[in-house]
């Protein structure tokens, strides 16, 4: 069901329930009020007759005359239309008003008993010829006893008719009012939803090709504008990640195509003519190196995609940075020696931190490999471990090419390679983004200080184990 119809039905039902409750309360209250009015008027008539009734010893004729005189003289219409009966102490009727038939009012046994006990009673009886009649039975005391009993009755047909009219009115009024409330509710909902329709139409025009397009509705209310703003922000985020994805796949394809074309070029060149075993061996070695680089790039990509999916788990434990660095040095010693780059380690006592030692070794290895790669032969790579009050600082410093100041902010981005490193055959531009993630996942940070032509210092600042 469309929302407009749902709201219209809801409004209608709500109005119907409320109106039914209110009408019910009003109906009951009205009925009670009319009945009270009738009782008051019966009580007043009985009171008038009671004070006017002659004293003990009056004959039935005298009483009848007195009553007829009262009925004739009194201007009260209620009195004139009332059915009156007066009984003596032995339940014989002394007087009956002329407007009623013989059996219109009847004194039942319980009424009589209550009257003799000195109490007034009200009751409603149904008489087939005149309908429902409300009666009052009042004892009249004279000289210490109940001398007469007055019974006054009055038809309550007018009350019944009034209540029936009210009921019919309500039965018409409630459905009509509920229908109008439903129509009004539907109309209001349509008005409220109109700006949303406009926003939805504009949103439909936004596709992956024109994500930069904004949804703007000048006429919309504040709430709807909040919605469009949230929608635009979401589109901006989507656009950003679309661009990132495009850049990422461009970079991946570029990187892998470059490695593959080197591999292909070398292989094709080798196959152009018959070669010596030594030459074949050299080509295979070069190819193997390219394949290892491809493998390295793919592994780094897989690592980063795991990081992006939030699936990278840290195998936490306490470990000594000193031993991790020693391991890294022994791993790169041969490469450094081959490149004639000296490696020095300056470390104090053991430095315990909490985290994943394998990931940390990978991060330090990356920094050291970069340092060796970007340092010309004859240069130096130094590693320092320093302990502060609550943090450890691991520095990898080299006397290499250095990084231009304007490029430093970008070197931690994926696939970013500073200009001078493009000439180098190594490197995919992924290493430092992985290092940054590892350091940050150990609640640390990384700082770079570099001077072109003099060298670079990468410092990892990590919280000590006890903090």
Instruction: Report the nearest approach of ligand ADP to the CB of residue 353 (Å).
Output: 22
The residue behind tokens 């024109």 is 210
Instruction: Report the nearest approach of ligand ADP to the CB of residue 369 (Å).
Output: 8
x/- string (CB under 6 A) for ligand ADP, residues 207-226?
--------------------
Residues 372 and 336 sit within 8 Å (Cβ to Cβ)? yes
Residues 123 and 135 sit within 8 Å (Cβ to Cβ)? yes
Applying CB under 6 A, which of residues 374, 379, 383, 439 lies at the interface with ligand ADP?
374
Window 382 to 441, contacts with ligand ADP (CB under 6 A): 398, 400-401, 403, 411, 416-418, 421, 427-432
Instruction: Report the nearest approach of ligand ADP to the CB of residue 319 (Å).
Output: 23
Of 228 and 370, which has the nearer Cβ to ligand ADP?
Answer: 370
Q: Does 371 bind ligand ADP (CB under 6 A)?
A: yes
Residues 139 and 122 sit within 8 Å (Cβ to Cβ)? no
Of 23 and 370, which has the nearer Cβ to ligand ADP?
Answer: 370
Q: Does 379 bind ligand ADP (CB under 6 A)?
A: no
Closest by CA position to 190, among listed 365, 5, 66, 373: 5
Spatial separation of the C-alpha atoms in residues 101 and 103, rounded to whole Å: 6
Of 100 and 418, which has the nearer Cβ to ligand ADP?
Answer: 418
DSSP string, 333-398: HHHHHHTT-EEEEEE-S--EEEE-HHHHHHHHHHHHHHHHHTS-TT-EEEEEEEE-SSEEEEEEEE
Q: Does 154 bind ligand ADP (CB under 6 A)?
A: no
Of 403 and 439, which has the nearer Cβ to ligand ADP?
Answer: 403
Instruction: Report the nearest approach of ligand ADP to the CB of residue 366 (Å).
Output: 6
Instruction: Report the nearest approach of ligand ADP to the CB of residue 313 (Å).
Output: 23
Instruction: Report the nearest approach of ligand ADP to the CB of residue 397 (Å).
Output: 9
* DSSP three-state, residue 61: helix
Of 341 and 411, which has the nearer Cβ to ligand ADP?
Answer: 411
Spatial separation of the C-alpha atoms in residues 456 and 283, rounded to whole Å: 34
Instruction: Show the CA angle centred on residue 176, arms to residues 171 and 180, nearest 5°.
Output: 155
Site stretch for ligand ADP (CB under 6 A), options 68-76, 135-143, 229-237, 367-375: 367-375
Instruction: Report the nearest approach of ligand ADP to the CB of residue 257 (Å).
Output: 17
Q: Does 444 bind ligand ADP (CB under 6 A)?
A: no
Maximum alpha-carbon separation in the chain = 162
For residue 21, what are its two tokens?
């409750």
Of 114 and 452, which has the nearer Cβ to ligand ADP?
Answer: 452
Please list, residue by residue across 309-318, b when 16 or more beta carbons sit within 10 angstroms of its beta carbon and e when fewer do: eeebeeeeee
Of 195 and 444, which has the nearer Cβ to ligand ADP?
Answer: 444
Q: 442 CB contacts (<8 Å, ≥6 apart)?
A: 314, 353, 354, 355, 356, 360, 462, 463
Q: Does 456 bind ligand ADP (CB under 6 A)?
A: yes
For residue 293, what are its two tokens?
């680089």
For residue 345, what are its two tokens?
């380690």
- Total binding residues toward ligand ADP, as defined by CB under 6 A: 20
Instruction: Report the nearest approach of ligand ADP to the CB of residue 425 (Å).
Output: 11
Q: Closest CB to ligand ADP belongs to which residue?
A: 427
Q: Does 370 bind ligand ADP (CB under 6 A)?
A: yes
Label the pairing between strands 380-387 and 342-347: parallel
Instruction: Report the nearest approach of ligand ADP to the CB of residue 438 (Å).
Output: 12
Instruction: Report the nearest approach of ligand ADP to the CB of residue 427 (Å).
Output: 3
Q: Does 97 bind ligand ADP (CB under 6 A)?
A: no
Of 63 and 363, which has the nearer Cβ to ligand ADP?
Answer: 363
Site stretch for ligand ADP (CB under 6 A), options 10-18, 268-276, 334-342, 363-371: 363-371
DSSP string, 104-151: SS---HHHHHHHHTT--EEEEEEETTTEEEEEEEEEEEETTEEEEEEE
Q: 237 vs 211, 213, 229, 233, CA distance in Å?
A: 10, 13, 12, 6
Of 356 and 398, which has the nearer Cβ to ligand ADP?
Answer: 398
DSSP string, 221-285: -HHHHHHHHHHHHHHHHHHHHHHHHHHHHHHHHHHHHHHHHHHHHHHHHHHTS---HHHHHHHHH
Binding interface with ligand ADP (CB under 6 A): 366, 370-371, 374, 398, 400-401, 403, 411, 416-418, 421, 427-432, 456
């Amino acid at each position: 069901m469309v929302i407009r119809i749902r709201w219209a039905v809801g409004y209608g039902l709500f109005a119907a329930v409320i109106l039914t409750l209110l009408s019910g309360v009003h109906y009951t209250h009205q009925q009670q009020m009319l009945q009270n009015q009738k009782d008051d008027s019966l009580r007043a008539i009985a009171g008038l007759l009671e004070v006017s009734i002659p004293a003990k010893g009056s004959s039935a004729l005298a009483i009848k005359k007195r009553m007829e005189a009262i009925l004739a003289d009194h201007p009260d219409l209620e009195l004139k239309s009332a059915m009156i009966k007066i009984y003596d102490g032995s339940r014989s009727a002394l007087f009956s008003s002329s407007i009623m038939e013989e059996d219109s009012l009847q004194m039942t046994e319980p009424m009589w008993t209550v009257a003799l006990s000195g109490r007034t009673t009200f009751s409603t009886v149904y008489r087939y010829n005149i309908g429902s009649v409300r009666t009052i039975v009042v004892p009249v005391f004279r000289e210490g006893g109940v001398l007469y009993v007055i019974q006054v009755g009055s038809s309550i047909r007018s009350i019944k008719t009034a209540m029936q009219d009210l009921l019919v009115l309500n039965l018409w009024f409630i459905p009509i009012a509920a229908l109008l409330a439903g129509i009004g509710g539907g109309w209001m909902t349509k008005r409220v939803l109109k700006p949303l329709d406009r926003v939805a139409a504009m949103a439909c025009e936004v596709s992956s090709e024109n994500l930069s397009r904004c949804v703007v509705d000048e006429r919309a209310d504040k709430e709807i504008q909040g919605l469009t703003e949230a929608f635009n922000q979401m589109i901006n985020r989507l656009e950003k990640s679309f661009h990132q994805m495009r850049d990422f796949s461009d970079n991946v394809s570029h990187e892998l195509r470059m490695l593959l074309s080197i591999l292909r070029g070398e292989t094709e060149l080798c196959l152009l003519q018959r070669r010596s075993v030594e030459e074949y061996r050299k080509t295979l070695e070069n190819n193997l190196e390219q394949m290892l680089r491809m493998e390295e790039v793919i592994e780094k990509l897989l690592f980063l995609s795991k990081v992006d999916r939030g699936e990278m788990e840290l195998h936490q434990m306490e470990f000594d940075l000193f031993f991790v660095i020693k391991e890294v040095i022994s791993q790169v010693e041969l490469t450094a020696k081959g490149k004639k780059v000296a490696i020095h380690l300056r470390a104090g006592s053991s430095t315990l931190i909490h985290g994943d030692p394998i990931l940390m070794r990978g991060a330090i290895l990356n920094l050291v490999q970069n340092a060796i790669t970007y340092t010309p032969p004859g240069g130096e790579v130094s590693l320092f471990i320093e302990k502060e009050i609550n943090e450890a600082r691991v520095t990898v410093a080299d006397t290499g090419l250095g990084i231009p100041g304007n490029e430093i902010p970008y070197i931690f981005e994926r696939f970013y390679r500073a200009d001078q490193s493009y000439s180098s055959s190594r490197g995919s531009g992924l290493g430092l983004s992985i290092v940054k993630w590892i350091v940050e996942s150990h609640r640390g940070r990384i700082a770079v200080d570099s001077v072109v032509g003099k060298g670079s210092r990468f410092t990892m600042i990590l919280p000590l184990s006890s903090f």
